[in-house]
Structure 1
Amino acid sequence: MEQTPHGSPDDPNPLRRLSLEQLRRRTSAKWRTYPDDVLPLWVAEMDVPTAEPVAQALNRAIAMGDTGYPAGTGYPEALASFAGKRWGWDGVAVERTRLVPDVMLGIVEVLKLFTGPGDAVVVNSPVYNPFYLFVEHMERRVVEAPLDARARIDLAVLEDAFRQAVAGGRRAAYLLCSPQNPTGTVHTADELAAVAALAARHGVRVVADEIHAPVVSRAVPFVPYLSVPGADSGFSLMSASKGWNLAGLKAALALAGPAAADDLARMPPEVGHGPSHLGVIAHTAALRDGGDWLDAVLDGIDHNRQLLVRLLAEHLPGVRHLPGEGTYLAWLDFRRLGLGDDPSAHFLEHARVALHPGPPCGTGGAGHARLNLATSPEVLTEAVRRMAGAL
């Protein structure tokens, strides 16, 4: 595997610029959780070098000793410009944003603004498993509204969940994952407008986790939740973290719709003390100057999506897979293979491939696993071949 033909710094695809040997020198969770003989395709880190504009901005800051506390509005201004260019949306109002440590901690602080212990938070399962962990740690109740067979929002099921959530006059929130992790579903404008109408009808506040918003195929439009009719009382959490592989440089933004501005104003100032100044510098540079690099990554991910379809058809025809259009994640259904509720355990032991287990993602997760596509085509090919050989 060490001899695979990738690792050229001049390759136009950033996913092929680092060799496996170089990647194994990393000390992040992806590369330190398992032994070196395991191909790690589990956690949401990308196998890419740092985008040059980001590296330059960080190097300048380090050279100046600019390592203090964050200040200013450069981050939301950069997001506003990025949203206008990428999504044709001019709705990022700097005065209705707040700096938060990361998206999940931002979600926690937003939920605190209008829910209390015992109140319900609706989620579309299968979904990013920290949704369950953080919500339950806040002493809120999770109410599931499972996706349909096409991995899309089922509006009838969602309405039933809203009714359950507000029963007895309780307050409730809907934690929307957009694009959906782990399925890669990109919600349409019509779907999101229908969500907003349902939420208004039942008095449910919408909080959209849009961390994967930059990671959407260039052939498909991403629609910010706050851009659709009826979403004025909603919130969004955004970050450059996933698009530019900056999870270790903590910074994110909470965005409020016009009718939620007073709620956002009640967020305690100390919440903004958690983000890293270097994180803010990195995220700002990514959004402002990292568009070309992002496009190259998106092209590489699209190639890997198509490659995975071919590899599964050739080596694992019993695996069901609906290719997503967003995120760099693939949701694989192994139930026909009889590997139990957690097939990732089988492939870790017998194929030395680490996938994210499906059961923690809630209803619809049993018999499934999530695979990270943000690697080289060679690593992806080797991983599928190993998995096939372990059956």
Structure 2
Amino acid sequence: MSEAACIEAQQRGAGGVSATADPGGVPFAELTPERLRQRRTSIKWTRFPDDVLPLYVAEMDYELAPAIKRALIERVEASDTGYLDGPGPLAAAFAGFAEDRFAWAVPEHRVHLATDVATGVVEALRVARPNGGRLALATPCYPGFFEMLEEVPFETVQLPLISADGSDFRLDLAGIAAAFATEPGIDAFILCNPHNPHGTVHSEEELAELARLAARHDVFVVSDEIHAPLTHPGTTFTPFAPLAAAAGALSVTTTSASKGWNLAGAKCSVIVAADDRADALLRGLPPETTTRASILGLHAGVAAFAESRDWLDRAIALVRANEARLHELVAERLPGVRLIRPRAGYLAWLDFTGSGLGPGPAGRILAEARVALNDGAAFGVGGAGHARINLACAPDTLERAIDRIAGILPGSGAEA
């Protein structure tokens, strides 16, 4: 039995939904790209022509969890669409989820609001390092970091991930230590935890060493943990905040329900202070950081963290089955392509450097195969020749995309 089939069997044995339906039981026949394009108006479905399969932006094809739908409808029916003045029930909902899933005891008073994680990162940097300086991040990483850093006065330093075998990419702690210690040093570090695009889940030992280095060299660490709820079974996610507090490192965590429950457009995230020192800084955030967050997003987040954990587990199971099937398809259909297997999230990193498609494979795949992937070059140093693919879709959608890509690869045999 294939790995994908084994995972599907495990889903059924655990009472999960069938591989023919999404986490809420909506048949995948209702969630084809053709039908979704008629119903949805987000960037995923409007940026490209109708003949393109969109597997790029981090948005699920799945329907919203029922509890989230109810929460949004209730708020609209109550005409409850005004401004926010604090996290309210979201602080308790997030704290409960963090304790349940990560054994992280989050004091509710250390939870602050922001519109989204990008806003949380930028505003945290502004209050913690108002004069800017040099900011490091491990690459390849989420392209949005480069865009949001244009809003603050930082020089960006890219510290590439390392891999002994080309498949398991980790933080280069020796390189990070050298960058922190060598003049002019580093003032801030953005940690992507779990790492996007590789789906790497950093170990407790790696994160503890990063915390010690940050404390020793007075580096402010912003840990983006937006993909943490999507950690796959058998892998342990470690929040950075408790380790930072133990080491005496100044740190905050930015996160949201937006990736785990497909709520990017709801626009509400949290910034969590690692300790009282960081909390004092966050209390200096401009009031607009809170008031610009969406009250609808707040209540959607409460429903996600507190009431939709089973839905999340089923979503992860479906993504894992798609990832296992992608692993098989790459081996069978895509000569010269390597899949970097994720341990969290629904995004996967594909190495096309040996495929014959050149340094910009995503562009050729869009033009010739009519499949939209994320261009690896946008992810910084180490990203050229790679592409990111979205796995939160119907299995048939993924299969169709791989069929199309196989058809343009030299040596695939598809042209025969």
- Structure 1 position 145 matched with structure 2 position 159: yes
Take 1:335 and 1:172, find their aligned partners in 2: how far apart are those partners? Answer: 34
Q: Is the 8 A contact 1:14 1:297 kept in 2?
A: no
Q: TM-score scaled by structure 1?
A: 0.93
Deviations 1:27-65 (A, max 9, x none): 100010001110001100000001000001111111111
Cα distance, 1:126 vs structure 2:
0.2
Which of 195, 200, 204 aligns to 2:215? It is 200
- SS of the counterpart of 1:141? strand
Q: Is the 8 A contact 1:237 1:255 kept in 2?
A: yes
156 and 14 in structure 1: CA distance in 2 versus 1, 3 angstrom threshold: farther
Matches within 5 A, 1:327-342: 327-342=345-360
Matches within 5 A, 1:1-391: 12=25, 18-25=31-38, 26-71=40-85, 73-90=88-105, 92-117=106-131, 119-149=133-163, 150-164=168-182, 167-168=183-184, 172-228=187-243, 229-230=246-247, 233-258=250-275, 259-391=277-409
Specify the code of the residue in structure 2 equivalent to 1:343.
P
Specify the code of the residue in structure 2 equivalent to 1:53.
A
Cα distance, 1:317 vs structure 2:
2.9
Unaligned runs of 5+ in 2: 1-17, 410-416
- SS of the counterpart of 1:241? coil
127 and 163 in structure 1: CA distance in 2 versus 1, 3 angstrom threshold: same
Q: TM-score scaled by structure 2?
A: 0.88
Take 1:283 and 1:232, find their aligned partners in 2: how far apart are those partners? Answer: 28
Which range is displaced more, 248-257 or 213-222? 213-222
Specify the code of the residue in structure 2 equivalent to 1:47.
D
- SS of the counterpart of 2:265? coil
Which range is displaced more, 18-27 or 322-331? 18-27
Which range is displaced more, 106-115 or 259-268? 259-268
User: Post-superposition, which runs of at least 4 consecutive aligned residues in structure 1 deviate over 6 A?
Assistant: 13-16
Take 1:120 and 1:6, find their aligned partners in 2: how far apart are those partners? Answer: 47
- SS of the counterpart of 1:99? strand
Take 1:138 and 1:16, find their aligned partners in 2: how far apart are those partners? Answer: 45
Cα distance, 1:360 vs structure 2:
1.1
Specify the code of the residue in structure 2 equivalent to 1:35.
P
Take 1:118 and 1:88, find their aligned partners in 2: how far apart are those partners? Answer: 34
- SS of the counterpart of 1:304? helix
Specify the code of the residue in structure 1 equivalent to 2:76.
I
Q: Is the 8 A contact 1:15 1:300 kept in 2?
A: no
Take 1:153 and 1:120, find their aligned partners in 2: how far apart are those partners? Answer: 18
Take 2:127 and 2:23, find their aligned partners in 1: how far apart are those partners? Answer: 48
Q: Is the 8 A contact 1:231 1:257 kept in 2?
A: no
- SS of the counterpart of 1:158? helix
Take 1:238 and 1:17, find their aligned partners in 2: how far apart are those partners? Answer: 31
Unaligned runs of 5+ in 1: none
Cα distance, 1:16 vs structure 2:
6.9
- SS of the counterpart of 1:214? helix
What corresponds to 2:412 in structure 1? none
Take 1:190 and 1:254, find their aligned partners in 2: how far apart are those partners? Answer: 24
Take 1:14 and 1:177, find their aligned partners in 2: how far apart are those partners? Answer: 33
- SS of the counterpart of 1:69? coil
Specify the code of the residue in structure 1 equivalent to 2:267.
K
Take 1:232 and 1:10, find their aligned partners in 2: how far apart are those partners? Answer: 39
Specify the code of the residue in structure 2 equivalent to 1:190.
E
Aligned length: 383
Q: Is the 8 A contact 2:180 2:186 kept in 1?
A: no
Deviations 1:50-105 (A, max 9, x none): 10000011111111111112245201110000111111211x11111211110001
Cα distance, 1:133 vs structure 2:
1.5
Take 2:33 and 2:27, find their aligned partners in 1: how far apart are those partners? Answer: 13
Take 2:138 and 2:248, find their aligned partners in 1: how far apart are those partners? Answer: 18
Which range is displaced more, 126-135 or 62-71? 62-71
Take 1:133 and 1:45, find their aligned partners in 2: how far apart are those partners? Answer: 19
- SS of the counterpart of 2:289? helix
323 and 126 in structure 1: CA distance in 2 versus 1, 3 angstrom threshold: same
118 and 95 in structure 1: CA distance in 2 versus 1, 3 angstrom threshold: closer
Cα distance, 1:232 vs structure 2:
5.2
Q: Is the 8 A contact 2:141 2:195 kept in 1?
A: yes
- SS of the counterpart of 2:211? helix
Identity %: 42
Cα distance, 1:9 vs structure 2:
7.2
